[in-house]
Structure 1
Amino acid sequence: MLERIKRHPKLKWAILILISLTAIFFLFFGSIYFGVWGKIPSSRELTELQQNKATQVLAANGKLIGKFYIFDRQPIKFSEFPDHLLEALIATEDVRFYEHDGIDNRSLLRVFFKSILLQDESAGGGSTITLQLAKNIYGRKDFGMFGIVINKMQEAIIAKRLEDVYSKEEILELYLNTVPFSDNTYGIESASLKFFNKKTSNLSLEEAAVLVGMLKASHYYNPRIFPERSRLRRDVVLMQMARNNYLSLEEAEEAKLTPLILDYKSYSHDKGIAPYFREQVRKDVSKILDTLRNKDGKKFNIYRDGLVVHTTLNFTMQQLAEEAMLEHMEELQAAHEKSYGNNAPWLRNKEILNDAIKRSERYQSLLKQGLSESEILKRMEQEHPMELFSYAGMETRNANSLDSITHYLKFLNSGLLSVDPENGGVQAWVGGVDFRFFKYDHVAQSKRQVGSTFKPIVYTAALENGIDPCSYFSVREVTYKDGWTPSNSSSEGDDPNMNYNLKTALSQSMNTIAVKVLMETGIGNVIEQAREMGITSDLPGVPSIALGTASLSLSELATAYTSYANNGYYSRPYYLSRIEDANGNILAEFKPEISKKKAFSDDTRKIMVNMMQATVNEGTATRLRFKYGLQNDIAGKTGTTQNNKDGWFVGITPELVCVTWVGADDHRIGFRNTAIGQGANSALPIFAKLMQKMNADAEFNEITNARFAPLSQELADMLECPPQERDNFFERLFSGKNKDRRNDDQKDKKKNGFFKRLFGKKDKDN
């Protein structure tokens, strides 16, 4: 042999070159194996794989509301994979998966000869599921011209180690939990929920084939963007299953006839159900996690650690609340814009426009760059394609920043908070009309004047301080010490000689009487009553507080009203139930905050509920009955602030308290008139539409069929008095009708006055 080599120098050089190349290959492979090009995880490290996992936010029934993530990954167990999903994966991606040890040499040879030498594009790939898993977990680095070779060799080493450490089932579980899909989605469970709104275990054969088909090129076969491409790729997967005997040809052909139907659910930060609520949960959970440590003594990461946040939110009620709000706000917005016409403040009021311009992100950004005001405005006048919000759908057109500011100034906004009065658990939370364009949360961040929704607190304090519910107060206007003269929203029928009892005055929301009741009760006593009912904001010690000049949040107002449906104990709204780590261990648990002391007596509570039921049955909220046809047991109170800036409604049922608010983000922009802006027209319909939807859904029978307990005979007798009475001659004579109205509030007669007793009407015990 040696003689032969000596006689043939070319053969000698060929052998030397082969030996040299082999040596170079092994040296090169050794450099990769021993980490010269980057450390390769050891078998021990592979047994402790840690991947970024999305934190899940769940509704009370365990349904997914949203996620917080860098990569949207939601791992599940092998037992949750349906057989047809695994069969589709193996038939399409790695038909010899159960026969190789991580590297399929037969497939590699096929790829080498057919793809590289013969340029046959139908040869398929040589990458196994295990090799793909290695790539999914560790990614690829840029090594320049040697990049593909180095990365492939690293993946081969990792794949062999993975096969040594894990069983085939475990490798499939790891693969399906890490493989990338379209729309920044990682793992089969996240993809299944996003594209079909169902858990992986519930995927049909055709749906599983769609997701497996996406793995070849996740963007190219994205069924949301390219449905026809995705369908054709699905059919290829189905035929691969038939070719490898997982399906009969007839079954595959039948499955191909199924239309591709998505039920796409975005879990992006700005989209999906309850975005305002999710943002508040994110803020609160992040603060809580700052106080906790994992087993390694490190802080938990809301974006990486796969936590599970359980909330009190009712998933279905939240959906219905958002629908109700959007349906009403679209109609109200149209009426609002029409009422102003070309004289709208967002078009004509220079002060409002200039303030909005200077508050805008664009203006502030250019200001930080050192530009002058004229330069900033010139930049802001430059047009470019812009997506603008509208109820008819997103509108894309050429516009400048000033156009955009004017556009958004005109929009009314809304807030809704529904709570379980027994424990304060939040059932629905709507912070605005669209989180993508209006980030300000009117539940969590806003405080506005509450208008007449404060009046029940005044009347509650009056009853608690001994004023009889059948006391009569004159509707006549009175001027108080600071020169303030409250009036009713409509003077129609306001006979100055007419007196009304508390029930009628509250149900008809009479401003003049509310202030008189406040003054007789005592401002301090009313403020103290508000505190007893859970209100913590500053309350001005002035007569106008009776008309709701105090600014409160929806949460505070809801807190106060829960006491009427919870036996006199207020329940402060809460929404976090518990936080768990990825293994189900409880990291934090939260309990309801319910007052330990009754805010008022049982009799007061029952009388107030009866009086607020009258508001619905015969007062300012009657459109709940005649327009929306609601027959539920409902108590409530409308509210409208001065100059129609804010509209409010609070609805109470035995099992639910719901607060709704409507107004413009800029408080200087009010409704054009009371007909549009009053709470009964602006805010009440959201509650009404929500109740209509709940009435149509058997899930809410416990709430919608609940009834208030009837009044006892004693309390019914206490309220048995005419709604109004006219001053008689002697009362008008001695009430100083022609004297200064400043003193008139001291002359109002109650039912237990001298002339009532003189003519035989029995006193009520105060």
Structure 2
Amino acid sequence: MFLGLGTVIALFLLLIYNGVIGYMPPIEELEDPHDKLASVVIASDGTTELGRYFAGAGNRVNSDYKTVSPHVIDALIATEDERFFDHSGIDFIALGRAGVKTLMLGDKSSGGGSTITQQLAKQLYSRPSSNMLKRALQKPIEWMIAIKLERFYTKQEIINMYLNRFDFLNNAVGIKTAANVYFNKEPADLNVQESAMLVGMLKNPSYFNPLRHPERTKERRNVVLEQMVKAGKLPRDEAEAYKQLPLGLDYHRVDHRDGGVPYLREEIRMLMSAKKPVRPSRDKYKSNLAYILAMGQYNTDSTQWEENPLYGWILKNPKPDGSLYNIYTDGLKIYTTIDIKMQQYAEEAVYEHLGGTLQPAFFKEKQGQVTGPYTTNSDELSRSGVMNLIKNAMKQTERWRVQKNAGISEAEIEKTFHKPYEMDIFTYVKENGKYHPGSKSVTMTPYDSLLYMKSILRTGMMSMDPTNGYVKAYVGGPDFNYFQYDMVSRGRRQIGSTAKPFLYTLAMEQDYTPCSQFLNTQPTFGNWSPRNSGSARIGDMVDLRWALTNSNNWISARLVYELGAKNLANKMRMFGVTGHIDATLPLALGTVDVPVKEMVAAYTAFANKGMRVDPVFVTRIEDNQGNLIYSTTPHRSEVTSEDAYYKILSILLNVVDSGTAASLRGRYGISAQMGGKTGTTNSNSDSWFMGFTPELVTGVWVGGEERYIHFNTMALGQGARAALPIYGFYMKKIYADKKLPYSQDTKFTFPADFNACSGEMFTSSGESEVEEVSEGIFD
């Protein structure tokens, strides 16, 4: 009878093993189980992790068996499978014990008979089922899969796969992520008690969740320590000492948005996932302006699609089998150009200036205004319809959307915006003498909180190498948690006087020199008469070097009139401006909207002998096996001739030495040879500074979320006061760090026989810093 029963069981298991009964994964899948791995974004040093892309609970990065602490292995085997190295997938001794004690004696605490290999089989292939037959088959199927896994993998590989796949909760999938999330360590550095806690979670991570149930988890950890003693892996006295210790958590919340350089990581994700742009159809747009803007974006995206290999990378680079990569599950390693120290200095510079000076001054100026941060200028108020802007902002909130969908009237919804609630809002926090983004708890109405958040000044900053395009630092806003719109790559704002070097480059190509003379009086072209400030040299003949050094609007207007606005627009295209350009005379004063990223790329031509280089964010990408599947090649294009380049360079150096950017010398004490240009648009809506050395090109923009949010006066609103200080702080930190490869002794090299204009190449226009003017582009 027993022989017959044994024969039936053996035949039954054989049929399962060969896939006749139940599901048995194909041999190919057993040889290479499908992995769902988070993709990792890595800094330029090749080791520092900046963040990850993953979906749901998919935050898993593989760790090699050799890099896992032996304490983890000892605790795992002692607790989960003490005869792991002696069986071939099924531990018949443990199975028999479980059968006798559990089924015959009713001892439910005796434990099960599942081996580590069986648990791995369940992780890989078992799914919950409501079908009784399928549930009955599940365990024997796991046995057979376990036997097959033992055929294809070594014991170490099985342990490695098991630890790499287990979900430790709190977005910690796999031992590597769990070690980081709970203890801020690498798996190799886990000590005995930490290893015991993580192994203890394997029994039931929800029940033994150290964040929710620390005492319960500690008791489970101590059980694991006791098992290690029984298995001879830990002396009794040491175990007793470890049992008295607290859990010792160093918890780090993990989200795919967390980590370093969040704005750039999001930009890389969007670039890689981009679809091929489709030309907009005119009949889908209600106004001609909306269609023009859509066409401008289409032109930008089309240029990216053709020239940027990272743009649409997923669609452009299918796997060998024709399927597409998934950055959330394919475990890619994405190596970026970001220098972690330079990124730190860029962020510190932003927080130091905005948090320490600009934001407090902005709050002080706007205190008591009914319209909050919005302008009080009567002309702007009539044009903008500020109350309508605020109403539209309310309609874009989640609070409004939920109530609207619930059928509540707009009048009733608006009432809820004037009822106080407890909430957290953004603020700058000063600790140890440094500012950083933070939050504070307040009681405030949603209406007031909306105006408060709009009062927070936005910024965009990018710094890159002008020779190869490698982006070293990238700050897309004051804080990604509160302000996720990226003002480096996505935001477009008017560029003001930072456009003038494009115009002057065009002039240097057309037989003008820095010494060419113009009459310094206000010109009028039709109904446009650009404004200037100051009374210096009015009515005199002035040269182009003086005019650009002092950001003179009148001379720029006269120059674009002679050269032609269309020619200037074409030159801007050569500099890399991709959006819509209105080729009218005010273009010379910066009426075009351009993102910081494009401006920094454009200014690389001034640092690189007239050659513009596109920004590079990613140097290479590897698949989860370490195979190289993408590497970058810098894309360069010639913008101007070398002769014109040296002429315009000589002027831009003078801007820093004695023009609108002269505070870099006195206030910030920077002696390095550098060029630059400040920019300020109408009513201080946009403040810019573009600075460059032979080794770095950096752009900074500062402004409000909307153009009607700005300083009332130029005292702090102009580019030299709002944007330039960030550049000054940043470069001071760069030069102070002797481990970085940047020196204040590095110079631009001019040809030995170069003479811009009769030996006047570096004529100074004065010793004191010059106040920049607001462009008056619409006057």
Which TM-score band applies after superposition, normalised by the shorter structure?
Answer: 0.7 to 0.9
Query: Is 2:464 the partner of 1:423?
Result: no
1:41 maps to 25
Question: Pairwise mapping of residues 192-211 of structure 1 onto structure 2 (< 5 A)?
Answer: 192-195=179-182, 199-201=186-188, 203=190, 208-211=195-198
TM superposition shift of 1:279? 2.0
Point out the structure with max Rg over C-alpha. 1
Q: What amino acid is aligned across from residue 200 of structure 1 in structure 2?
A: P
C-alpha distance in 1 between matches for 2:527 and 2:190: 71
Query: Is 2:490 the partner of 1:445?
Result: yes
Q: What amino acid is aligned across from residue 429 of structure 1 in structure 2?
A: Y
SS of the aligned residue for 1:584 comes to coil
Task: Report how many aligned residue pairs link the two structures.
Answer: 704
The worse-fitting range, judged by mean Cα deviation, of 39-48 and 83-92 is 39-48
Query: Is 2:131 the partner of 1:128?
Result: no
Equivalent of residue 156 in structure 2, options 149, 169, 176: 169
C-alpha distance in 1 between matches for 2:244 and 2:669: 46
2:530 maps to 485
Contact 1:415/1:660 (CA < 8 Å) preserved in 2? yes
2:665 maps to 625
C-alpha distance in 2 between matches for 1:660 and 1:125: 63
C-alpha distance in 2 between matches for 1:410 and 1:478: 37
Contact 1:472/1:499 (CA < 8 Å) preserved in 2? yes
Query: Is 2:625 the partner of 1:599?
Result: no
Q: Deviations over 1:420-457 (max 9, x none)?
A: 11122222222222333323221222211001111222
Q: What amino acid is aligned across from residue 431 of structure 1 in structure 2?
A: G
TM superposition shift of 1:343? 0.8
C-alpha distance in 2 between matches for 1:267 and 1:537: 37
Residues 294 and 541 of structure 1: is their aligned pair in 2 closer, same or farther, counting only changes over 3 Å? closer
1:99 maps to 86
Contact 2:345/2:734 (CA < 8 Å) preserved in 1? yes
TM superposition shift of 1:697? 3.4
Residues 560 and 30 of structure 1: is their aligned pair in 2 closer, same or farther, counting only changes over 3 Å? closer
Query: Is 2:385 the partner of 1:343?
Result: no
C-alpha distance in 2 between matches for 1:709 and 1:505: 24
TM superposition shift of 1:637? 1.6
Q: Deviations over 1:463-493 (max 9, x none)?
A: 33233323455554344332423112xx3x5
Q: Deviations over 1:309-358 (max 9, x none)?
A: 33333344334323432343323222212111111634774122112123
SS of the aligned residue for 2:733 comes to helix
Contact 2:460/2:702 (CA < 8 Å) preserved in 1? yes
Question: Pairwise mapping of residues 287-686 of structure 1 onto structure 2 (< 5 A)?
Answer: 287-331=312-356, 332-343=358-369, 345-346=371-372, 349-364=386-401, 372-374=409-411, 376-377=413-414, 386-392=423-429, 393-395=438-440, 401-473=446-518, 475-488=520-533, 491=534, 494=536, 496-497=538-539, 500-595=542-637, 597-602=638-643, 604-686=644-726
Residues 231 and 564 of structure 1: is their aligned pair in 2 closer, same or farther, counting only changes over 3 Å? farther
Contact 1:416/1:658 (CA < 8 Å) preserved in 2? yes
C-alpha distance in 2 between matches for 1:588 and 1:345: 51
SS of the aligned residue for 1:67 comes to strand
Query: Is 2:81 the partner of 1:67?
Result: no
Contact 2:394/2:400 (CA < 8 Å) preserved in 1? yes
TM superposition shift of 1:387? 4.4
TM superposition shift of 1:258? 8.6
Compute the RMSD of aligned alpha carbons. 4.1
Contact 2:181/2:253 (CA < 8 Å) preserved in 1? yes
C-alpha distance in 2 between matches for 1:351 and 1:272: 37
C-alpha distance in 2 between matches for 1:208 and 1:151: 30
Query: Is 2:731 the partner of 1:691?
Result: yes
Residues 345 and 27 of structure 1: is their aligned pair in 2 closer, same or farther, counting only changes over 3 Å? farther
Residues 218 and 482 of structure 1: is their aligned pair in 2 closer, same or farther, counting only changes over 3 Å? same
TM superposition shift of 1:523? 3.8
C-alpha distance in 1 between matches for 2:541 and 2:230: 89
Contact 2:514/2:648 (CA < 8 Å) preserved in 1? no
Q: What amino acid is aligned across from residue 41 of structure 2 in structure 1?
A: V
SS of the aligned residue for 2:40 comes to strand
Residues 523 and 284 of structure 1: is their aligned pair in 2 closer, same or farther, counting only changes over 3 Å? closer
C-alpha distance in 2 between matches for 1:85 and 1:103: 22
SS of the aligned residue for 2:703 comes to strand
The worse-fitting range, judged by mean Cα deviation, of 475-484 and 63-72 is 475-484
C-alpha distance in 1 between matches for 2:745 and 2:242: 45
Residues 213 and 323 of structure 1: is their aligned pair in 2 closer, same or farther, counting only changes over 3 Å? farther
Contact 1:571/1:594 (CA < 8 Å) preserved in 2? yes
SS of the aligned residue for 2:354 comes to helix
Q: Deviations over 1:69-90 (max 9, x none)?
A: 2312222433333433322322
2:271 maps to 284
Residues 711 and 212 of structure 1: is their aligned pair in 2 closer, same or farther, counting only changes over 3 Å? farther
TM superposition shift of 1:662? 1.2
Query: Is 2:199 the partner of 1:159?
Result: no
Residues 534 and 244 of structure 1: is their aligned pair in 2 closer, same or farther, counting only changes over 3 Å? same
Residues 482 and 314 of structure 1: is their aligned pair in 2 closer, same or farther, counting only changes over 3 Å? same
Q: Deviations over 1:3-30 (max 9, x none)?
A: xxxxxxxxxxxx9xx9999999999999
Q: What TM-score comes out, normalization by structure 2 length?
A: 0.79
Q: What TM-score comes out, normalization by structure 1 length?
A: 0.80
Q: What amino acid is aligned across from residue 277 of structure 1 in structure 2?
A: L
TM superposition shift of 1:123? 5.3
TM superposition shift of 1:722? 5.8
Residues 381 and 147 of structure 1: is their aligned pair in 2 closer, same or farther, counting only changes over 3 Å? farther
C-alpha distance in 2 between matches for 1:549 and 1:45: 59
C-alpha distance in 2 between matches for 1:683 and 1:116: 75
